[in-house]
Homo-oligomer: A and B are copies of this chain.
């Protein structure tokens, strides 16, 4: 069985690990599953071949044995369901880990995406400067709540899980803003995720690919 991910032919971040294929590569490394990548250009992403894989034209997509998935959260749960290492065996702990995957993508990530829009799409608009503090404060609210929950724990709920993989991946997007440094336990949490050998391998592979 071959697993194939679509990835950016050249990631806009130049391989800093912020494209969403990195989180899927990381998950595959955590469970020791080899995979191949199929690069797509921005033009490719608008073509029927890619829209058949993902109607929203985004990367990554995941192909395995006739199955085609998109959405990094869904791909993560699929990988986690097939092999040990990303979700606890205990059903209640497993459900809580899945809760953290959703908290990452539906509660913490939306205001972070909005910051990217504010900078990349609206950065030259007359309101950009006055509006930015509001956008940042919406992120700070979530970071404060997450920081209070985490306290001095290593991970969000017991051992490292898919929930941590996704939360760390979402928080990494804040690095250029410096916001993460306002919450030292969250900055340390992200560093802890990045120190995992599986993350290191995933990062190195996507970096090499984007700088080939």
Query: A interface vs B, CB < 8 Å?
Result: 51, 55-58, 66-75, 77-78, 92, 95-96, 98-99, 101-103, 105-107, 109-110, 113-114, 117, 121-122, 125-127, 130-131, 134, 138, 142, 145-146, 148-149
Contacts and interface: CB of A to CB of B under 8 A. Distances in A.
Nearest to A127: B127
27 contacts: A51-B148, A55-B145, A56-B142, A56-B145, A58-B107, A66-B92, A67-B95, A69-B99, A70-B103, A71-B99, A72-B102, A73-B102, A73-B106, A74-B95, A74-B101, A74-B102, A77-B98, A105-B105, A110-B114, A114-B114, A114-B117, A117-B138, A122-B134, A125-B127, A125-B130, A125-B131, A126-B130
What is the predominant secondary structure among interface residues of chain A facing chain B?
Answer: helix
Q: Give this chain's copy count.
A: 2
Nearest to A69: B99
A40 to B, nearest CB: 16
A183 to B, nearest CB: 13
A55 B99 contact: no
A150 to B, nearest CB: 9
A103 to B, nearest CB: 5
B55 A146 contact: yes
Contacts of A78: 95, 98
Contacts of A103: 56, 70-71, 74
B74 A145 contact: no
A109 to B, nearest CB: 7
Contact of A110 (B98, B110, B130): B110
Given A78-B95, A122-B131, A134-B122, A149 B55 contact: yes
A106 B74 CA distance: 10
B145 A57 contact: yes
A113 to B, nearest CB: 6
